[in-house]
A and B are shown apart, each in its own frame.
Chain A
């Protein structure tokens, strides 16, 4: 069965600083990998996803992530954090469940605090 580990429960950065959120996965086949952001009162929003191809994936809001098969990692990065980026971030791995759908397994999340 697949699993996702987000080693950092809580990260605090200053506004304008760079950010890297770590994600490690375990899956027997080629993984579908995702990063979601959850803000209070709002549904999870997809930041980016990796299915195949270029291992450096660009997402919304200036985020990017790099798939490293040798390290089973899919770390999320942003060169300059904005105060509005403060939220909970979830990494997820998807496994096909038949047809065109897939099931998501989430990590426990990383809470990002941004200091002014």
Chain B
């Protein structure tokens, strides 16, 4: 399957600071990428849809000013957690849909574990 990378894989930051997480599609270009968060022992929850060349679309209840998404190119999307607080500690995962004919598959990155002290 296609390869999706995330950087960093693990980050610890102090409360009040901002953290940027990168998601890269290494095998194909993607006009859309998805961002999820996963709490321990919980399911993945879709946060937002990242759109290349336009604004991200956020799910209900997700603060767009707190979770800034930039789809800088067809292979890169970034999620910035601004003024992070301990409750933002979570596992953040991106996915890249392969919209090629007959595929309809989303490929997931390995995730980024954020710990806010």
Residues on A facing B (Cβ under 8 Å): 4, 32, 36, 41-46, 49, 51, 90, 97, 99-109
Contact = CB atoms under 8 A, between A and B. Distances in A.
Chain B: interface secondary structure? strand
A107 B43 contact: yes
Interface in B22-79: 32, 34, 41-46, 49
Interface in B84-109: 93, 95, 97, 99, 104-109
Contacts of A102: 97, 104
Contact of A100 (B44, B45, B93, B99): B99
B4 interface: yes
Given A90-B43, A90-B44, A109-B43, A104 B109 contact: no
Given A49-B104, A101-B97, A104-B106, A43 B46 contact: no
